[in-house]
Structure 1
Amino acid sequence: MDQLPRPGLGTSGYEDDEECAENVRTALDVGYRHVDTAQMYDTERAVGEAVADSDVDSEEVFVATKVAPENLAHDDVLETARESADRLGVDSIDLLYVHWPNGAYDAEGTLSAFDELVDEGLVEHVGLSNFTVDLLDEARDVLDAPVFAHQVECHPLLPQDELREYAREDDHSLVAYGPFGRGSIMDDDTIQSVAEDHDLTAHQVALAWSLSKENVVPIPKATGEDHLRANYEARDLDLPQEALDRLDDIDERTRRFDPDDAPWN
């Protein structure tokens, strides 16, 4: 599978494996075919079990995971990626990301390990997450493998114009985590106005905005069939250009995932 299905499903923040696995199984029944996890989320095993137990052929499901910052030294990447594959129950990880370019991250050491994993077949595609333009440039210079996806917070209040254009020019996907801005979209008058005008929820508007953008793949989190289905069915929404223009013209910029050691700080 060479394209990321849209939308995907985020899997952080679950209280236990059973809740996560049940939600992933429900999402697959609804139609999702892209599941995003991470070493940091502690949900890899639950995701792997859910995919294996589902009636959906596992070959149809694109599973992505991420190497935690403390595991980004060269040898630790190799070791923990294999542990991630074991937890996921797969011979090959569809997409492996650098979760954050901090902690033990070193472009040469970290990314050479990613290339080794691709060469040996343990990883199909390489992804980066929370990189700046300069760090993307550096990573592309170091990597032999192409950058398949770059994952960042992205929503109408943080549209990431520069990184979306970079993704378009480099022909990789921009994977949008936090597509609801941790609830901040609920407080924006323009988003609420567009939602009322088109008899939609603010969440549906935010996802429709993301899905209208070339190369953008939102990965909302949701629990329960109703919420999962509402998010998935946003892919069938077609906001008129006038509404999309209003969303694009929002001046407010709200970043809700902003640790002190993020590369932009």
Structure 2
Amino acid sequence: MESLKTQGISLPRLGLGTYRMQGDVCRAAVESALALGYRHIDTAEMYANEEAVGAAIAAAGVPRAELHVTTKVWHENLAPEALRRAFDTSLKKLRLDRVDLYLVHWPSPSMNLPAVMETLMKLKQEGRTRAIGVANFTVALLKQAVEEIEAPIACNQIEYHVMLDQTKVKAYLAAKSIPLVAYCPLAQGRAASNDTLIRIGKKHDAAAAQVALKWLLDQDGVAAIPKASRAESQKANLDALSVTLDDDDRKAIAALPKDQRLVSPGFGPAWD
């Protein structure tokens, strides 16, 4: 599995997203993914599944040095003391002595970003997280974190797929050599039924979802974390790595409408 090097860590380019998976379903999914060869597991405080993820990691017996674990702090816990409490709780539930990447899950209009970043940087200095980063940050927020605060941001995790244009954020991240981690990379299932992607897939003996995933992973500096609870889907996502798209395929995908933002909660930022 190819990895992206960022802020002293190696981020496997294909990971397992675990949003909306809980309990035994989540544990089984993570165990299955690890058995198939996944080494990048993404979770969050808000998902209420860190205990299940931790149990799966413990049961799988994969050497800790081979595993990348990301978790995130919820936007209601961004005050320094609350952030530390949230981090401690996440670490305990995951049964780990450190995580590989700790992210601000969503920015908050009321947050003191310098204080947030200072707290994250202290956690990194203490060796409790190997790297820190953000999710759902706009270019304006990224500029504040990267240029004004000079925080060592290891990634920005955002919604990104064949049906959503993220050119502005992607260009900024690329200029700063910061990876983009794509969540909802299959457009919440919509990619699988898209006629253009189905047609491209038939050409390559691949599924439409595999075409959508490979389109992302063909881009420099992009990783993806599709959610998949079934082993068959997890393997299909891994197999997408061997799909070879050509220029005609990329042109057809570029022509798709790119205005479908599927995740936009009321507390989210004003998107660029």
TM-score under structure 1 length normalisation: 0.94
* 52-61 or 124-133: bigger deviation: 52-61
Q: Can you give the 5+ residue segments of structure 1 that lack an aligned partner in the other structure?
A: none
Q: 81, 84, 89: which is aligned to 1:78? A: 84
Structure-2 separation of matches of 1:122 and 1:230: 34
Match of 1:93 in 2: 99
Match of 2:129 in 1: 123
Q: 1, 9, 27: which is aligned to 1:2? A: 9
Partner amino acid, structure 2, of 1:242: D
Please give the residue correspondences for 1:72-221 in structure 2 after superposition, counting only pairs within 5 Å: 72-102=78-108, 105-221=111-227
Structure-1 separation of matches of 2:98 and 2:148: 23
Q: Can you give the 5+ residue segments of structure 2 that lack an aligned partner in the other structure?
A: 1-7
Partner amino acid, structure 2, of 1:164: K
Shift, 1:187, TM fit = 4.7
Please give the residue correspondences for 1:250-265 in structure 2 after superposition, counting only pairs within 5 Å: 250-264=256-270
Task: Say whether 1:12 aligns with 2:28.
Answer: no
Distance 1:104 1:57, change over 3 A: farther
Q: 59, 62, 84: which is aligned to 2:65? A: 59
Q: 41, 50, 57: which is aligned to 2:56? A: 50
Q: Deviations over 1:146-198 (max 9, x none)?
A: 11010000001114112222221111110000011112224533223222332
Distance 1:103 1:84, change over 3 A: farther
Structure-2 separation of matches of 1:141 and 1:113: 17
Q: Give the ranges of 4+ consecutive aligned residues of structure 1 lying more than 3 Å apart after TM superposition.
A: 141-145, 186-189
Shift, 1:103, TM fit = 6.2
Report how many aligned residue pairs link the two structures.
264
- Tell me the percent identity: 35
Give the alignment's Cα RMSD to 1 decimal.
1.6
Q: 30, 33, 54: which is aligned to 1:27? A: 33
Q: Is the 8 A contact 1:25 1:51 kept in 2?
A: yes
Q: SS at the partner of 1:93?
A: coil
Q: Is the 8 A contact 1:10 1:37 kept in 2?
A: yes
Shift, 1:254, TM fit = 0.6
Structure-2 separation of matches of 1:255 and 1:206: 16
Shift, 1:87, TM fit = 1.1
Structure-1 separation of matches of 2:150 and 2:84: 16
Shift, 1:144, TM fit = 4.7
Distance 1:9 1:47, change over 3 A: same
Q: SS at the partner of 2:28?
A: helix
Q: Is the 8 A contact 2:194 2:208 kept in 1?
A: no
Shift, 1:240, TM fit = 1.5
